[in-house]
Amino acid sequence: MLKLENMTAGYGKTRIVDDVDLEIPAGEVVALLGRNGMGKTTLLRSMFGLCDVFAGRLTMDGTPLPLERPERLAQHGLSFMPDHRGVFPSLSIEENLRLAQRRSYTPPVDVFALFPLLRDRSRQLAGVLSGGQKQQLGLARAMLAGERLIVVDEFSQGLQPSLAKAALEALRRIADTGVSVLLVEQGPQLPLAYADRIIGMVKGRVVFDEEVPRLRVNPEPLTNLLVVG
């Protein structure tokens, strides 16, 4: 289980995430939703030491993890796809995937079957790919590296709807083997179809944490969260 306690983080002297607690059990898909500017990306970045952390603690299965050492998190089987996709533009698709692949781990999905582009253009430099193509490469890298946890920011960004559904189905299959999945998504449709829980953020704080079956029956909390008033 991933556990985040009392996370307070931001940039410089500006606090964006304020005293957030979060738990993601093994095998669970959790979607983080909220309007733009509510702290979702900063919360994910704080987990991997990519912003200023003022307070907080991150553990995986009870073991404390070093927030200031993102490379150590990778060694523990935690992967993160940021909103800029996190690919190496000067390397080929094949080289990007080879770097991400953990020697001791093979995910239960074939990333080449999921994203045929990655096989067809394996020698192409990642830097010349379109935004949607980089999204496919970034997701594949996260799946290959995330033996225990996969975190994805702006999950469906640049993906055609059918490919976004296929990718989330793949993450669902990965989660079913015991991997924790946390993703940020703009709309509620995909999370309501595939996630186990949805967490809502407003102004750097978690305002609700509900199981998806309950939100399907009563979507009012989601409506209130996402509609700009």
The structural domains of the chain, ordered by start, are 2-86+146-226 (3.40.50.300)
In angstroms, rounded to a whole number, what is the distance separating the alpha carbons of residues 164 and 136?
A: 9
Poorest-pLDDT segment among 129-143, 153-167, 212-226: 212-226
The model's pLDDT over 28-64, given as tens digits with 9 standing for 90+, comes to: 999 999 999 999 999 999 999 899 999 999 999 999 9
Report residue 114's pLDDT band, with 50, 70 and 90 as the boundaries: very high
Beta pairing, strands 14-24 & 63-65: unpaired
In angstroms, rounded to a whole number, what is the distance separating the alpha carbons of residues 75 and 184?
A: 23
Residues in the chain: 229
42 CB-near residues (< 8 Å, 6+ apart): 9, 10, 11, 16, 17, 51, 204
Question: Model-level pTM greater than 0.85?
Answer: yes
Report residue 229's pLDDT band, with 50, 70 and 90 as the boundaries: very low
Nearest Cα neighbor of 88 from 99, 77, 102 is 99
The model's pLDDT over 4-32, given as tens digits with 9 standing for 90+, comes to: 999 999 999 999 999 999 999 999 999 99
Report residue 228's pLDDT band, with 50, 70 and 90 as the boundaries: low
